[in-house]
Chains A and B, each alone.
Chain A
Amino acid sequence: MAGQLFKVILLILVTAILGGCSGQNPSSTIDNKEKIQVGLVFDIGGLGDKSFNDQAYTGLKKAAAEYSLEMGKDIEYLEPAEAADRETALRQMASKKKALIFGIGFIFSEDVNRVAKDFPETKFACVDYVSPANEADIPPNVVGLKYKEEEGAFLVGALASLVTKTNKIGFVGGMQSPLIKKFEAGYKAGAHYANPKCVVIANYAGMTPDAFKNPSKGKELALSIYDKGADIIFHASGSTGLGVFEAARDKKKLAIGVDADQYDEAPGYILTSMIKKVDVSVFEEVKAVHDNNFANGIRVFDLASGGIDYIYNDKNKNLITEDTHQKIEAIRQKIINGEIKVPSSLD
């Protein structure tokens, strides 16, 4: 009796855990021969992350409107629940004869390479792609979408160094990794370029991926930076950054968002956000496949192409003077012209 009941409880537990793996109903693909078929696999976090995944979804919706595709039919997406499900999800999409399949996040890089070799007819695109040691090894049906984060970080660093009243600004990174160091490098270079007297204090939340999901740690890191006299902090740390915003509210100081416009997370305390326009790159890739000019290899999105930018709109205008705005725009031009070389690492 007791054993039986325990089995039932275990079964419920297991079902609940597996139930987290959600997907869409497979739908038939009749009568869409001429319509482009797109598949997309989200990163863990999935829809509603207010960041990459949501932006990718926006890109898909734009493509749907442009090419009159039907969401859930011509365009399908999957949200893997576990890291190990990524490759399976890609294969599932590929076996549905999709023309183009997206993987959202650097973590897909190797999965995409592997699956692409088995489905040579299908095109694959990976956001934040990490290329193999030899770029010639990128499969002919894979395009890696990369962003020059350091250029955007340079601009917000310059902006922060002009807005600061204490000549001290801060940086909070998530996991210590080359990707996040790229943000720090650009940010520091930008601050020193626009205001040589400006000091930058940089803190990291940790050494593991957990460091991107630790708002309490983010708050303490930010509080200690504000305590040292800084009045603006830029974060590149996922939801750890929400703690940075909380500290900004507590101390009545400013913070800078990342990836998407984060103004609404702490209205009045967000100076600006450095954004990566994943929606633009997703749309561009659908367009390329639609127009039959897909090219494999690395595709870089930067300030020049508009894939990287910072937020300046009606919401944060009152925090940035017109003069400062002009200076930042001038710096943007210099980066685009190549007059300013932005470092992508700290050494």
Chain B
Amino acid sequence: MLEMLTWVMLAQTIRISIPYVLASLGGVYSERSGVVNIALEGIMLNGALGAVLASYYAQNAWIGILGGMGAGLLTAILLAIITIRFKADQIVSGVAINLLAIGLTKFILRLVFNSSSNSSRVEGLPIWHLPGVPMDSFWNSVIGSPLVLLTGVIILVSHIIMKKSVFGLRIRAVGEHPEAADSVGISVARMRYWGVLISGLLAGLAGTYLALEQHQFTQNMTSGRGYIALAAMIFGKWTPVGAVLASLLFGFSESLNIQFQSMGYQIPNQFIQMIPYVVTMVVLLGVIGRSVPPAADGKPYEAGN
């Protein structure tokens, strides 16, 4: 049992968690500003395709990152306009965007790569090797990846923004008590646009990581990761650090499942796969410290009410 808890497993946990971390951080920005973001899944999927398209045409994976974040941003702009400008139901709009993403990415996949299954192989990101460190070391199998390092920076910056900056305070204010924020001259709509657009950039980056690690886009390759990220954000009580820790826990339980299977342990792996969801529900029920959403989360803001 203990021999599994190795650097190999830690590296795997981090690799699996990166998309959860990025997307759930995105969720934190959006929901703290008061916009429920079910669309993380669709944004991620569009981001993955955007990254592959950009990397494919530019023959350069760094451009691919821009493409992935750009596609995520565009999707988020759509969500923002529908939910903030036109005050539509946020859940329904999010679901619609997820459905749209599935259809749209498949359509483009066939248009560009003439396949309904997967794209051509594209350039991936290099690993920044440390000199003198063996190839299969912890550093080279995870930390040396530029997107993993970038994710580390994003976690730190997000924590500081949300906790210490005026910008973060304003985001939180419009999500918690938009009337009060409005009365002191903060534009509720503008702060919410910021929240949703940042979530688009981050979820787009999550999709970029998935796609560039695989060197290709495959149909519906996010396979529910956006929803897991959403659960991680709730589990993490709508805070950056909480969301990151929850994402790591989900990644760890997936890695545990993989390791158990490879070791040939006869534990039904349905049981292990259940753990993160059970924990999430327990948290939602308030057993381990209640998880309360921002008061105005999901409510369109009508000035003057």
Contacts and interface: CB of A to CB of B under 8 A. Distances in A.
Interface of A: 2-3, 5-6, 9-10, 13, 16-17, 19-20, 45-51, 53, 81, 201-204, 206-207, 210-211, 213-217, 219-221, 223-225, 227-228, 239, 242-243, 246
Interface residues of B, number: 46
A49 B87 CA distance: 39
Contacts of B16: 216, 220
A213 B82 contact: no
Contacts of B8: 224, 227
B261 interface: yes
Contacts of B99: 17
B218 interface: yes
Nearest to B269: A204
Interface of B: 8, 12, 15-16, 19, 81-82, 85-88, 96, 99-100, 103-104, 106-107, 110, 114-118, 210, 213-216, 218-221, 223-224, 254-255, 258-259, 261-264, 269-270, 273
A259 B81 CA distance: 45
Instruction: Output the residue of B81, B221, B259 with the most chain A CB within 10 A.
Output: B221
Nearest to A50: B117
A221 B255 CA distance: 9
30 contacts: A2-B86, A6-B82, A9-B82, A10-B88, A13-B96, A16-B100, A17-B99, A45-B219, A46-B116, A48-B114, A50-B118, A203-B258, A204-B261, A207-B270, A210-B223, A213-B220, A213-B223, A215-B214, A215-B218, A216-B213, A217-B223, A220-B16, A221-B258, A223-B12, A224-B8, A227-B8, A239-B221, A242-B118, A242-B214, A246-B213
A48 B115 contact: yes
B210 A50 contact: no
B214 A216 contact: yes
A239 B263 CA distance: 24
B214 A220 contact: no
Chain A interface main SS type = helix
B223 A214 contact: yes
Contacts of B273: 206-207
B219 A2 contact: no
B221 to A, nearest CB: 6
Nearest to B86: A6
Contacts of B264: 201
A224 B117 contact: no
Given A49-B115, A51-B117, A220-B255, 14 more contacts: A2-B85, A2-B87, A9-B81, A9-B86, A13-B100, A17-B99, A45-B219, A48-B110, A207-B270, A210-B223, A211-B223, A216-B213, A219-B213, A239-B221
Nearest to B96: A13
A246 B210 CA distance: 12
B223 A49 contact: no
B258 A242 contact: no
B117 A239 contact: yes
Contacts of B88: 6, 10
A20 B103 contact: yes
Contacts of B12: 220, 223-224
B137 to A, nearest CB: 13
Contacts of A220: 12, 15-16, 254-255, 258
Contacts of B258: 203, 220-221, 224
A19 B220 CA distance: 18
A182 to B, nearest CB: 19
B218 A219 contact: no
A49 B100 CA distance: 20
Contact of A17 (B103, B114, B220): B103
Contacts of A223: 12
Nearest to B270: A207
Contact of B221 (A17, A206, A215): A215
Given A48-B116, A203-B262, A204-B269, A243 B214 contact: yes
Contacts of A215: 214, 216, 218, 221
A214 B221 CA distance: 6
